[in-house]
Amino acid sequence: MTVDALTPKQITVGVLALQGGVIEHISLLQKAAAQLSSQQSTESSSTSTPQFTFIQVRTTAQLSQCDALIIPGGESTTMAIVARRLGLLDPLREFVKVQHKPTWGTCAGLVMLASAASATKQGGQELIGGLDVKVLRNRYGTQIQSFVGDLRLPFLEEEKPFRGVFIRAPVVEEIMTSGSSASGNTQDGSEAGQGGDEIAKLKERQRTEKVEVLGTYPKPQGTGEGEDIVAVRQGNVFGTSFHPELTDDVRIHVWWLKQVVERLR
Ligand SMILES: NC(=O)CC[C@H](N)C(=O)O
């Protein structure tokens, strides 16, 4: 069988539309898809670019049409409450952690995809999980401390820095291991408690799918040495602290769509 025969012809990518930059993500996805198909026609490569459809997701029926999903930014606490009310929280967990469909969370979306979070509201907040990491919410302070910073993202294989838009952004403060204490004040519906079964599952996943750090950013002055983790991937799950959809730089959307095609093959 040729590689082309394995490439899906139709891919539906959803953007969770409870809050945040939904239209912005869809617009960059459309540009990215156009770029992929024009690249393909000039490269005369042996694999064909699939036909992409981009949809907004507010219901379980819409989610079930999706092969891949973006969870945009917003306010993760509110997003979790709304998702719970709409009956979407468990289907989202199923989508990411059981069906293993490619999912990308930006900012609040990264928080939702973490197994644990700190600086949450009292009593914690519900999470989807999928990334064995603990995030620190609002790492850079409040809305007025939002900023744009140049990021070097080696996975883009280009020197040109990516303008990272950080708005009350989280960072990954801990990559969880089976011995880690990151049970915390949050629930992703599975690993949070870390009983025997969960530890075994976590160990198995860490053996097969490690959390990869794909981007870092220097810690702000006075908050310690070194770099904060602002982009991670574990298997099919990708998370960024910043908002690529608020720029006109299509590179991360192009990269992610290619990953989606690869992983659905
Ligand atoms: N811009 C954003 O998505 C902010 C995320 C927000 N601080 C949260 O934790 O949900």
How far lies 142's CA from each of 127, 139, 231, 258, in Å? 22, 9, 20, 34
Determine phi and psi for 209, rounding to 5 degrees.
Answer: -135, 100
Q: Is the CB of 170 under 6 A from ligand 1?
A: yes
For residue 225, what pLDDT is reported? 87
The rounded distance, in Å, linking the Cα atoms of 81 and 197 is 28
Q: For position 223, which CATH number holds?
A: 3.40.50.880
Q: How many domains does the chain have?
A: 1
For residue 200, what pLDDT is reported? 77
Q: Is the CB of 239 under 6 A from ligand 1?
A: no
Residue list for the binding site for L-glutamine: 74-76, 137, 167-168
pLDDT in tens, 233-256: 999 999 999 999 999 999 999 999
The predicted complex's ipTM stands at 0.95
For residue 240, what pLDDT is reported? 98
245 is catalytic: yes
Range of the domain at 15: 3-264
pLDDT in tens, 183-223: 445 667 654 445 677 777 777 777 788 999 999 999 988 88
For residue 43, what pLDDT is reported? 67
Cβ-based neighbour number of residue 28 at 10 Å? 26
For residue 192, what pLDDT is reported? 46
The pTM for the full model equals 0.90
From the candidates 24, 25, 66, 107, give the one annotated as an active-site residue.
Answer: 107
